[in-house]
Amino acid sequence: MSHPPVPGPPPSPLAPIDHAVARLEELDHLDVAEHPARFEAVHAALTDALSAVDRV
């Protein structure tokens, strides 16, 4: 008799924040000219994460 699959833990609500911060750790490996685009992308990701708090 087979058992139904057991779901894993729910995704961490901090995962998007952790991912955004991890993208900042890659700055040392990018040309300085690429930094503004990375900052903008991280800012957008953090803004989205903060907006999601209102939907919780």
pLDDT at 55: 61
> With contact defined as beta carbons under 8 Å apart, do 19 and 45 qualify?
yes
pLDDT at 56: 53
Distance CA 34, CA 20 (A): 16
| Listed residue (4, 2, 37) closest to 23, CA to CA | 37
The pTM (predicted TM-score) of the whole model is 0.71
Domain ranges of the chain: 15-53
| pLDDT in 10s for each residue of the chain, 56 residues | 678 888 888 777 788 899 999 999 999 999 999 999 999 999 999 999 888 876 65
pLDDT at 6: 82
Q: Which residues contact 56 (CB under 8 A, 6 or more apart)?
A: 13
